[in-house]
Copies of this chain bind each other. A is one copy, B any other.
Amino acid sequence: MPVTRKTFEDFPPGTIFELGEYHLTAEDIISYAREYDPQPFHLDEEAGRTSFLGGLAASGWHMVSILMRMTYDNILFDTCSLGSPGVDSLKWTRPVLAGDTLTGKAEVLSARPLKSRPNMGIAKFRFEMHNQRDELVLVQMTSLLVERQQPT
């Protein structure tokens, strides 16, 4: 392995990762929606404007997909990840509209070695996304399995 990669020991509780920015265009919203969530308010500006969302709005599943990409680009790209068992909770707190710029943040809430599999540990994260007005649009609790440092 040519470079040092992050292991379980790099995720003590309280660690905060900034996940950068993601600017969302109408084309991005429509492209995801055509494939995975073709409800009218995710496909069409006018349908969005007259809906409860108030504009051409991103699918909630598009938002978590974008959060995954931000998490890869800022944490997982150099982490010895062994995947995630699942999500403890996920809330969409505000619509995300075409033209919005999202910022992401992740905080390690807890971290413990696994007794059953001594080569790995589990870290529980709180993820947040805010829009350009600093309004919370998504909050998610997800666990991640990470390799522990090998004895040298």
- A positions within 8 Å CB-CB of B: 32, 35-39, 52-53, 59-61, 64-66, 68-69, 72, 76, 81-92
Copies in the complex: 2
Identify which of B52, B66, B76 contacts A39 (C-beta below 8 A). B76
Bound form: Cα–Cα A91–B90 in Å: 12
Q: Is the interface of A mostly helix, strand, loop or mixed?
A: mixed
Question: What are the 10 tightest A-B residue pairs by CB atom distance, in nearest-first order?
Answer: A86-B91, A87-B90, A36-B65, A61-B68, A36-B69, A37-B68, A86-B90, A61-B65, A36-B68, A52-B82
- List residues of chain B with CB within 8 A of the CB of A38: 69, 72
- List residues of chain B with CB within 8 A of the CB of A64: 61, 64
- List residues of chain B with CB within 8 A of the CB of A53: 83
Beta-carbon contact of B69 and A35 below 8 Å: yes
- List residues of chain B with CB within 8 A of the CB of A90: 86-87, 90
- List residues of chain B with CB within 8 A of the CB of A88: 89
- List residues of chain B with CB within 8 A of the CB of A86: 89-92
Beta-carbon contact of B81 and A85 below 8 Å: no
List 26 A-B pairs, Cβ < 8 Å: A35-B65, A36-B65, A36-B66, A36-B68, A36-B69, A37-B68, A37-B69, A38-B69, A38-B72, A39-B72, A39-B76, A39-B81, A52-B82, A52-B83, A59-B68, A60-B84, A61-B61, A61-B64, A61-B68, A65-B65, A84-B92, A85-B91, A85-B92, A86-B90, A87-B90, A89-B89
